[in-house]
Amino acid sequence: MPLGSIVDFLGNCPQYIANGLANGCIYILVAMGFNIIFNSTGIINFAQGEFCMFGGLFAFTFGVTLGLPLPVAIILAILATAIIGALMERLMIYPLRNASVITAIIATVGASILFKALGRMFWPKEAYKVPEFSTGNITIPGVTVSRQFLWVLGLTVVSVLLVYLFFNRTRAGRAMRACSINRQAASLVGINVSRMSLYSFLLAATLGGIAGLINAPYASYSIGLFLGIKGFTAAVVGGLGNTFGAVTGGLVLGLLEELIPGFLTVVLGVSTGYKDAVAALLLVTVLLLRPQGLIGKGVVEKV
Amino acid sequence: MRGKRTLLIIAVAAFVFSALLALPGCGDGETETDSKEPIKVGVVLSESGANEPLGKPERNSIELYVDRLNDAGGIDGHMIEVIIKDDQSDANKAQQAAVELLQQEEVVALIGSSGTGTTIAMKQEATKARVPMVTMAAGANIMDGDFTWIFRTPPTATEAGKKVLEYVSEELGVKRIALLYDTNAFGTDGKAVVESEAADYGLDVVVSEGYVTDESEEGMDTHLTNIMTADPEVVVVWGTNPGPAKIAKRMRDKGIDLPYVGSHGIANQAFIELAGDAANGVVFPAGKMLIFELILEPGSEEYEFIKDYSDAYFEEYGEHIDTFGGHGWDAITIIVEALKRAGTDVTPEELRDEIEATEGLVGTAGIFTYSPTDHNGLSPDDLTMVEIVDSKWEHYSK
């Protein structure tokens, strides 16, 4: 019996891995949003999950309510989310530029609550169906994935590469990293610190919007907390602030979330129904054993 | 002369006294008004938040019922005044709203709320204040502990679960059930009933797995992959939207052609909208109201009651009735009928006793009979199995 069930489990593994990859990609994008803001301002943005919420819900409004063609709706949804990110920075974070980082972090908690309330006000239903980028399935023996899956993978790879190049190859990206290491010194060498903070929110909201879009077809105002926690876990597990850490963390979390419950149900015959516990356990384990994250280089130089 | 004068004084005094006696609240310095005092009923609904799809039709229904009643002269000339508060699907806000209604408005009865958690929060307050409360939520644990003051209108997991098991064993004629349930209160109630009652129907729950409704389609795919390993013959999904819609869609995508039996949690248009094509073929238990024209005899009391509600609702709001609006309609009906029987100067305690004496009252969800031991009021026979065919509800038949 156990042997047979292990064979069953192994047979299911390709499907678990495909599902884990799809979810992992979304976690990666959310985690990168956390990283970008953390890198240039030192702030953990608790409203990152709500950017995803806006991405999906705006796509519904533009694509279904207003009936715009899907590519136009998607671009508008990402732009609208980016604008919300920029507004958040100008109205909430910029006025706190001389306050402590903790104050700004608490402000982002407020933003998260505000965004969720706005989402609930304008999109009150429990879920909205957003059109898929492409419909249909791809089936190879043992695995069935939707065609949307290819978009998820492709958009994630492109986003990760662009973000990496931006931070390591462009002047603005390097300037943003400099701000994180030492704001005052960055300002002294001529970097406009407040503009870099604005850019980081703009970029993080854009990535959040993309994550929310590809997490669709079902968008809802409640998704923010769900994705926010997963993305934060992925960022910390990989190493806060590190782009490839986000990739590692997102993939590890995505895969374990499918493999562990699969193993429990199929091999041990216990279905806990608490898949979310995987993220919490992973977070605690990594913080205890390797607080700098799986591929983080060292302790962050903050007092 | 003198005798005549005395007689006049006595006559005037008698007239004044009788006039004073007829006034309500006589002698405590209230302003006198011509119309009779309204009877206040407090309502707490989830008009936003997770249970918004429930709260909105419930509000529409209660307001429509009361408007029609008041236009027709109220109860013996007393208008019914409903004071509606939104709890935003939040238990703390529901509790606060209940306290406000009980203390500031001094309502004679409470209706609420849409969800189980919010109802339980209100229950404490209603019980403390000794005011009867009619809930529109189906959670089994609402009736845990002291349920003296709480009555219920929707069918619960118990009736629905038994109906589903009866359908699986008698209509589908299969044995091996795979159960997918939402890990929220609604889903775990269903899980408890299905797992504990299955044996009585000769069925076997071979695997059961919990999911979170916000999970992605890929997450649902994993749950389906897991349960398919146990080689089930039917998939029972117990949850509220959007989870069951994601599962239906994913089952269709994966080409799993096992029967999909849902719960009464998907007895709404939202499920069909969210699941699209994949909703077709799904069978679920629901009150007869959804398809009353197909299964009830025109002219029967149940048919006419639902027809009247359906027509009035459509005329007022331009929308079709749904189950949740029906629960609201039933809740206010039960209270108003009890008020009619008990008289309008009833105390909350007397009203509670009168609600408990409700017997054979026709509502949209079925025929309500409460007793000191049963405050649920319905039986599995009040439910029927509904199948989705071409994105429309139809009475299930072989």
B270 with A126: Cβ contact below 8 A: yes
- Which residues in chain A touch residue B214, judged by CB atoms under 8 angstroms apart? 220, 222-223, 226
Tell whether the model's pLDDT for residue A138 goes beyond 90. Answer: no
Query: For all residues of chain B together, what is the average pLDDT?
Result: 88
Q: Phi, psi at residue B155, to the nearest 5°?
A: -65, 150
Q: What's the pLDDT band for A94 if we cut at 50, 70, 90?
A: very high
Cβ of residue B257 closer than 8 Å to a chain A Cβ:
no
| Cα separation, B218 vs A22, whole angstroms | 7
A81 and A62 in contact (C-beta within 8 Å)? no
Mean pLDDT along residues A39-57: 92
Identify the pLDDT of residue B32: 40
User: pLDDT by residue (tens digit) across A181-203?
Assistant: 888 888 898 888 888 999 999 99
Identify the pLDDT of residue B31: 42
Tell whether the model's pLDDT for residue A16 goes beyond 50. Answer: yes
Cβ of residue A220 closer than 8 Å to a chain B Cβ:
yes
Residue A89 structure tokens: 């920075």
Lowest-confidence segment of A123-137, B121-135, B190-204, B293-307 by average pLDDT: A123-137
Tell whether the model's pLDDT for residue A145 goes beyond 50. Answer: yes
In a mutational test of the A interface, the residue from B86, B214, B224, B391 whose CB has the highest number of chain A CBs within 10 Å is: B214
Identify the pLDDT of residue A177: 84
Identify the pLDDT of residue B20: 46
- More confidently predicted of A120 and B237: B237
Q: Phi, psi at residue B183, to the nearest 5°?
A: -80, 5
User: pLDDT by residue (tens digit) across A201-221?
Assistant: 999 999 999 999 888 788 999
Q: What's the pLDDT band for B5 if we cut at 50, 70, 90?
A: low
Identify the pLDDT of residue A298: 54
C-alpha torsion angle, residues A54, A58, A64, A68 (rounded to 10): -150
Percent of chain B with pLDDT over 70: 91
Q: Which of A5, A16, A126 sits opposite B225 (nearest CB)?
A: A16
Question: Which position has the token pair 């069978």?
Answer: B283
Say if strands B234-238 and B260-261 run parallel, antiparallel, or are unpaired. Answer: parallel
- Tell me B235's DSSP state: E
Cβ of residue B184 closer than 8 Å to a chain A Cβ:
no
Tell whether the model's pLDDT for residue B30 goes beyond 50. Answer: no
Task: Spell out the alpha helix ranges (H) of B210-366.
Answer: 217-228, 243-254, 269-275, 292-295, 301-317, 323-342, 348-356
Mean pLDDT along residues B255-267: 92
Residue B58 structure tokens: 């419930």
Tell whether the model's pLDDT for residue B381 goes beyond 50. Answer: yes
Cα–Cα–Cα angle for A144, A150, A151, nearest 5°? 135
Q: Which amino acid is at B36?
A: K
Identify the pLDDT of residue B75: 92
Q: Domains in chain A, please, with CATH?
A: 2-289 (1.10.3470)
Nearest residue to B159 (alpha-carbon basis) of B368, B303, B397, B388: B368
Residue A38: C-alpha distances to residues A25, A169, A226, A230, A292 (Å): 20, 19, 20, 16, 14
Biggest alpha carbon distance in chain B?
Answer: 108
Q: Domains in chain B, please, with CATH?
A: 39-156+300-382 (3.40.50.2300), 158-287+384-395 (3.40.50.2300)
Please return the burial class of B72, using the count of CB atoms within 10 Å of its CB with bins 0-12, 13-18 and 19+.
exposed
A271 with B276: Cβ contact below 8 A: no
- Cα of B86 to nearest chain A Cα, Å: 13
The residue length of chain B stands at: 398
Cβ of residue A297 closer than 8 Å to a chain B Cβ:
no
**Using DSSP, how many helices (H) and how many strands (E) does chain A show?**
11, 4
Q: What's the pLDDT band for B27 if we cut at 50, 70, 90?
A: very low
Identify the pLDDT of residue B263: 94
Tell whether the model's pLDDT for residue B216 goes beyond 50. Answer: yes
Tell whether the model's pLDDT for residue B25 goes beyond 50. Answer: no
Tell whether the model's pLDDT for residue A51 goes beyond 80. Answer: yes
Residue B86 structure tokens: 């939104």
Mean pLDDT along residues B302-323: 93
Compute the Cα dihedral for B386, B388, B392, B395 and give only its sign: negative
Q: What's the pLDDT band for B6 if we cut at 50, 70, 90?
A: low
User: pLDDT by residue (tens digit) across A220-251?
Assistant: 998 999 999 999 999 999 998 888 899 999 99
B146 and B127 in contact (C-beta within 8 Å)? yes
Nearest residue to B312 (alpha-carbon basis) of B347, B364, B374: B364
Residue B252 structure tokens: 């269709």
Compute the Cα dihedral for A234, A239, A241, A247 and give only its sign: negative
Tell whether the model's pLDDT for residue B203 goes beyond 60. Answer: yes
Tell whether the model's pLDDT for residue B23 goes beyond 50. Answer: no
Cα–Cα–Cα angle for B365, B367, B370, nearest 5°? 110
A212 and A219 in contact (C-beta within 8 Å)? yes
**Using DSSP, how many helices (H) and how many strands (E) does chain B show?**
13, 14
Tell whether the model's pLDDT for residue A74 goes beyond 90. Answer: yes
Which chain A residue has its CA at the smallest distance from B179's CA?
Answer: A271
Identify the pLDDT of residue B15: 54
- Which residues in chain B touch residue A22, judged by CB atoms under 8 angstroms apart? 216, 218
Q: Phi, psi at residue B32, to the nearest 5°?
A: -85, 135
Cβ of residue A267 closer than 8 Å to a chain B Cβ:
no
Residue B212 structure tokens: 């979170």
A262 with B222: Cβ contact below 8 A: yes
Residues sharing a CB contact under 8 Å with residue A193, sequence separation 6 or more, in sequence order: A97, A179, A183, A186, A187
Other CB atoms closer than 10 Å to residue A40's CB: what's the count? 29
Cα–Cα–Cα angle for B65, B71, B75, nearest 5°? 75
Question: Which position has the token pair 């419930």?
Answer: B58
Q: Which helix (H) or strand (E) holds B367?
A: strand B367-368
Say if strands B361-362 and B133-135 run parallel, antiparallel, or are unpaired. Answer: unpaired
Percent of chain A with pLDDT over 90: 55
Identify the pLDDT of residue A302: 46
Say if strands B234-238 and B176-182 run parallel, antiparallel, or are unpaired. Answer: parallel
Residue B64: C-alpha distances to residues B53, B74, B315 (Å): 18, 13, 10
User: pLDDT by residue (tens digit) across A120-135?
Assistant: 889 988 889 888 777 7
Q: From its phi and psi, is residue A26 left (phi > 0), alpha (psi between -120 and 50) or beta? A: alpha
- Which residues in chain A touch residue B88, judged by CB atoms under 8 angstroms apart? 120
Mean pLDDT along residues B148-156: 93
Mean pLDDT along residues B64-92: 93
B101 and B44 in contact (C-beta within 8 Å)? yes
- Which residues in chain B touch residue A23, judged by CB atoms under 8 angstroms apart? 216, 218-219
B383 and B395 in contact (C-beta within 8 Å)? no
Residue A247 structure tokens: 């990739």
User: pLDDT by residue (tens digit) across B332-352?
Assistant: 999 999 999 998 889 999 999
What does R_g of chain A's alpha carbons equal in angstroms? 20
Identify the pLDDT of residue B3: 55
Tell whether the model's pLDDT for residue B191 goes beyond 50. Answer: yes
Classified as helix, coil or strand, B181 is strand
Identify the pLDDT of residue A303: 40
